[in-house]
Structure 1
Amino acid sequence: VVKRSCYPRWNETFQFELAEPGGEKLCVEVWDWDLVGRNDFLGKVVFSVQGLEVAGQEEGWFRLWPDKSKPRVDERRGSLGSLQLQVKLRDETVLPSHCYQPLVQLLCQEVKSGCQDGQVHLVTLLDEATTAECRQEVAASLVKLFLGQGLVKELLDLLFELELAKPCEPNTLFRSNSLASKSMESFLKVTGMPYLHAVLGPTIARIFEEKKQVELDPGKVEPKDTGCSGLHRVQTEGEVIEQGRQHLQAYLGELLDAIARSAPACPALVRAAFRQLFHRVAERFPRHQHAKFVAVTSFLCLRFFSPAIMTPKLFHLRQTHADARTGRTLLLLAKAVQLVGNMEPAAGRAKEPWLAPLLPALQKGIAQMKDFISRLVGTQDEEEEGEEKEGAGCPAAVLQEGLLFVHKTRGRGPLLAAASSSSSSSSSSSKKLHFCLTGEALSFAKSPGAEPIGAIALADILAAEKVEEKSFGSAQVMQVVYMEAGGRQETAYLQCKSVPDLNQWLSALRKVCGTNPRVLRAYHPGVYRGDKWSCCHQKDRTGLGCDRTRHGVTLQDWSDPLDPAVEAQRLFHHLQGLRGTLR
């Protein structure tokens, strides 16, 4: 739900699984949400899956159409508006994992043996034959596949070695969208998101809260930004720019200090990958001591930190996109971080002279960044690397975890009992527990790191669905329907910290439980209060749900749980499409 906007932007990606696409249709409906009363239907767009099989994808603005079964409150005739969508149909018939073992074994053998003179690598052929449009997807599949095999560090090392064997300049290393660059970028997004949130989160939150005017370019200072700043004085353009410089320098200093302190908190596997890269570049360019630092910052600053600063919503740092003023501040801060990452602030000043006042702060930041990288790659963490590598392919690897509020209801079961006993106060309507989802169960504890006080086996989870906002006054609540030990069906209502967090939990739960033979086909999006359901007013508490479940709707992005069989299938399908090129 996008509130307080007649021109909403969702920027969300969803994946729907179709067993038999045949005559199916995809219907996208737009509703006007109301806190009180029924939501109003605004229009719909319908896609024929059969048509998508021919076209592959459809993209653009699509006109909204009425639905006779859903009358609009506003009966005026005319255009209902349009919706911008991209719809893509992809054939992903995933065979049993053993069918892809020859391909997986070949790739693993190449990665383990490393780069050998005269040997043609399948990875090299993938890099050379894959188009720029597909390279990101192929890189993500390779990274996820080798994470599942416990060989992602070796994969990245091979890609670094192959990339450095090509003719290249030390100042432009890994700036192109090669398979090595895209793979490292995907690797950081898969393994480094908690670290990114810890480093950037406080500064991003402060910028959104303060909404200060930050501008250094005289050409972008608007007349309304100058003028009376008090009762008796006028603020000049120069003062606006100087004030903006002070704000930006404060944000940059805070952020660089956070980065400088973060070396011990960086995941061991990420540190190991950067250590490999650092030493590979040092060997390739022994006379350019500067190059090994730039190689690290080309990924850490230019492809990880800066994009997250510019668009924090896409990295789940914020629930909504920034307004114009905050967006400009974020853009300037991201540009400053890029200049620090380039380690040549004079080059940035030559392109944009108005950055000159920031030069002392940038030079200080470069010194901080070099010191940080030296500490980041200078400590061996062999034991931690081994633990992470082993855990990546382990069935009990953590897929999702975090603190969730458990809303008290009239239900029973171990989860509700644990929530009731987690605090001495019984007046609160919700209790906070730490949940951990693995390939075996959804467990819960009183706090992070504490011993679990209970668990729900994945085989007993029947559905994971969103709850109507009206039920608890929040759009961040999900329900987990499960079967308790006594054979009784129970529902736990869990509130997440944000809508993106809610979507992550739903996606993770559906991916590991969607194939359960006992999954429900219908559920109640409301809650049972008094003597009826809030959604459909049905009085039978155990009656059939009034809305269909959405087991096949999952997030399609880099934070999904690993599924090596799916990634192997995607690589196999991609290689099939390259048969003509590879010949």
Structure 2
Amino acid sequence: QEYVYNCVLKLFLVLKKNLPHWNRNDQKKTKVKKKTSNPQFNETFFFEVTRSSSYTKKSQFQVEEEDIEKLEVRVDLWNNGNLVQDIFLGEIKVPVKVLRNDSFQAWYLLQPRENGNKSSKTDDLGSLRLNICYTEDCVFPSEYYAPLRNLLLKSSDIQPISASAAYILCEVCRDKYDAVLPLVRLLLHHHKLVPFVAAVAELDLKDTQEANTIFRGNSLATRCVDEMMKIVGKHYLKVTLKPVIDEICESPKPCEIDPIKLREGDNVETNMENLRYYVDKVFREIVRSSISCPTLMCDVFYSLRHLAAKRFPNDPHVQYSAVSSFVFLRFFAVAVVSPHTFHLRPHHPDAQTSRTLTLISKAIQTLGSWGSLTKSKLSSFKETFMCEFFKTFQEEKFTESVKKFLDDVSSTESKEPSGLSEPIHLKEGEMYKRAQGRTRIGKKNFKKRWFCLTSREFTYHKQQDKEPIFTIPIKNILAVEKLDESSFNKKNMFQVLHGEKPLYIQANNCVEASEWIEALCRVTRCNQKRLSFYHPSAFLNGNWLCCKATVENTVGCARCTADVPADTQIEIDGDRETERIYSLFTINMSKLQKLEEACGSIAVYQGPRKEPDDYSNFTIEDSVATFHTLKQIIDTVEKLNESHEKYQKKRSSSAEYGSEKNPIGKVS
């Protein structure tokens, strides 16, 4: 008898110590494949293995150098039990040391779990086909990468942009994703991403003939923006969508409106009301979230908006569709349909919830598409039931909300929300404030005050509903940072820097302190004179407690969390990203050389190109400039090759003669 399973794969990256116990693991899970004994998952998962002294220390699987050899990939196959507990079907274990810098695609026999029970026969458990690849980066000190890094960072200044090192990198890589991810991280780390995106977007727009297709393709510009939004927009999605996504997943209401997919007993009108409720709630959260949008995203949207208006000067709506094609279609709508991918939910939702999220995502895409609610657009819906659903939306109301939201997120200046004569009230509450100018530490220096934050000003009062004692205009706030507990021997303190003496405030608890810091950071994110450095401690008794500097107005000793709240800061190892880019150039060296030959030929004569199949798809706008950049890339990569060869030789020679790293008979 053939059993029918609802199959799901659970993947673990495991560090094994003191067998048979498992010390650490990083876990991921596939979608459920229902009603099959021969599931095909076709999903790709990445596990980032880092050492504690390198790269980011957030959300990574960290190991010590000697532990890397003990890592293994464990793949478990389970029968998804829905309401009951999942049933274990079998597992595979692949040690990382057998994968070193290689790829394995093979069938693996599923094994029983190691629990001393030998009742299961391995032949009875079936087999699983996997493609596993382990890549190891050998990162040198920063000075080794200076030539290649500088070549990449000046890409936005190269004319034309297609002759730049960053553009050529993405041209020669077979899979642009491999190149875009480290490139975006590197440019982001060195504050060069916005001008590069603007340059490649301008090139993209040259080939765009119709305004309604703007930024809809899978070009270098769109991929760069997509990766940027994934990196810097995590916290933005969390504060905007997570509460409503949690509600949908944990207390789902039936929302199916396709007559073909309705179950017996379902009421399409009730389902349509439920779907309308969810769409309204998601849409409302999005259009009210502009104040939380990271500054970098705003800067990119601002550039795209103005480039689009320049390319299509006679279309008044293109400046909005250029931004909405990213923020609605490629950011919010994608996060709604795949919340687990953006860490809004721990796992992929069940089938019914997934269908609800898909319908909501379709609605958000359409609502966010500028001018999509016209009658001509409604009649072009592939699904008749979606057309009927959208007739319940008021076109002008939603269009104006989208317009206002896009105006807010694509502006580089802090401004009042349009149509409002009064400031928006954001937060208020009672906390303790330290009297400014006092030099001694004491309880009497701290007074309980009522604080109020609006979109225009930050004030404090003796009591609620009283006139403010002191007012700080939002535009004057330079930074909002935590204050070291050692300053006044008090917990939950933060400081507001505004040009005069710092305002030191103690919240009632750590949650309240974080909420105030986040609220103040959000409302001041567009201030033009934000500080880059601050003092994490107070200035008392003639010196700063943190750095011992004796001048009160000296530059701070710690880097500010700058544009966004502290928990959204991005830690990037620029050297590691440059090493990855070097590896990509090395792999594609033959393409670089053929492209160099092509540029040389074009520079000499305008005759037919040699071997057109090898480089006919490359963009060569200026053969001389491209040739010059290619020569620099090849020379730089060859020098790095020499450094890697010397390191590998040294590593091999230092290994014990006759060991795996230095086997007998190897030519030194």
Return the TM-score normalized by structure 2.
0.53
Which structure has more helix as a fraction of its residues? 1
Question: Gaps spanning 5+ residues in structure 1: where?
Answer: 33-39, 227-239, 383-397, 402-413, 423-431, 435-444, 452-557
Cα distance change on mapping 1:210 and 1:433 into 2, 3 Å: farther
Q: What does residue 275 of structure 1 align with?
A: 302
Letter in 2 for 1:580: S
Deviations 1:225-271 (A, max 9, x none): 44xxxxxxxxxxxxx22212111111111122112211122112211
Query: Is the Cα contact below 8 Å between 2:112 and 2:120 reproduced in 1?
Result: no
C-alpha RMSD of the superposition: 3.9
Alignment of 1:201-280 (within 5 A): 201-223=242-264, 225-226=265-266, 240-280=267-307
Shift of 1:330: 0.5
> Residue 124 of structure 1: SS of its match in structure 2?
helix
Cα distance change on mapping 1:129 and 1:365 into 2, 3 Å: farther
Q: What does residue 159 of structure 1 align with?
A: 200
CA distance in 1, matches of 2:312, 2:587: 37
Cα distance change on mapping 1:349 and 1:568 into 2, 3 Å: farther
Deviations 1:159-205 (A, max 9, x none): 22222233443222222222211110111111111111111122212
Query: Is the Cα contact below 8 Å between 2:105 and 2:129 reproduced in 1?
Result: no
Letter in 2 for 1:150: H
Query: Is the Cα contact below 8 Å between 1:339 and 1:348 reproduced in 2?
Result: no
Of 18, 31, 56 in structure 1, the residue corresponding to residue 103 of structure 2 is: 56
Query: Is the Cα contact below 8 Å between 1:45 and 1:63 reproduced in 2?
Result: yes
CA distance in 2, matches of 1:16, 1:379: 38
- Pick the structure with greater CA Rg: 2
Letter in 2 for 1:331: T
> Residue 347 of structure 2: SS of its match in structure 1?
coil
User: Is 1:375 matched up with 2:402?
Assistant: no
Of 155, 159, 163 in structure 2, the residue corresponding to residue 110 of structure 1 is: 155
Q: What does residue 630 of structure 2 align with?
A: none
Alignment of 1:343-422 (within 5 A): 343=370, 344-345=372-373, 346-347=376-377, 349-350=379-380, 351-360=382-391, 361=393, 363=395, 364-380=397-413
Letter in 2 for 1:571: I
Of 159, 175, 188 in structure 2, the residue corresponding to residue 147 of structure 1 is: 188
* Percent identity of equivalent pairs: 28
Cα distance change on mapping 1:262 and 1:289 into 2, 3 Å: same
CA distance in 2, matches of 1:93, 1:306: 38
Q: What does residue 500 of structure 2 align with?
A: none
User: Is 1:582 matched up with 2:592?
Assistant: yes
Q: What does residue 171 of structure 2 align with?
A: 128
Q: What does residue 343 of structure 2 align with?
A: 316
Query: Is the Cα contact below 8 Å between 1:310 and 1:327 reproduced in 2?
Result: yes
Cα distance change on mapping 1:98 and 1:63 into 2, 3 Å: same
Of 289, 298, 304 in structure 1, the residue corresponding to residue 316 of structure 2 is: 289
Query: Is the Cα contact below 8 Å between 1:27 and 1:44 reproduced in 2?
Result: no
Shift of 1:24: 7.4
Of 563, 571, 579 in structure 2, the residue corresponding to residue 569 of structure 1 is: 579
Deviations 1:16-41 (A, max 9, x none): 46969998773527599xxxxxxx99
Aligned residues: 395
Query: Is the Cα contact below 8 Å between 2:197 and 2:221 reproduced in 1?
Result: yes
Of 38, 47, 57 in structure 1, the residue corresponding to residue 94 of structure 2 is: 47
Cα distance change on mapping 1:62 and 1:171 into 2, 3 Å: farther
Q: What does residue 83 of structure 2 align with?
A: none
CA distance in 2, matches of 1:268, 1:84: 44
Alignment of 1:94-109 (within 5 A): 94-109=139-154
CA distance in 2, matches of 1:118, 1:200: 36
Return the TM-score normalized by structure 1.
0.60
Q: What does residue 333 of structure 2 align with?
A: 306
Of 47, 54, 79 in structure 2, the residue corresponding to residue 14 of structure 1 is: 47
User: Is 1:177 matched up with 2:240?
Assistant: no
Q: What does residue 235 of structure 2 align with?
A: 194
Shift of 1:342: 2.9
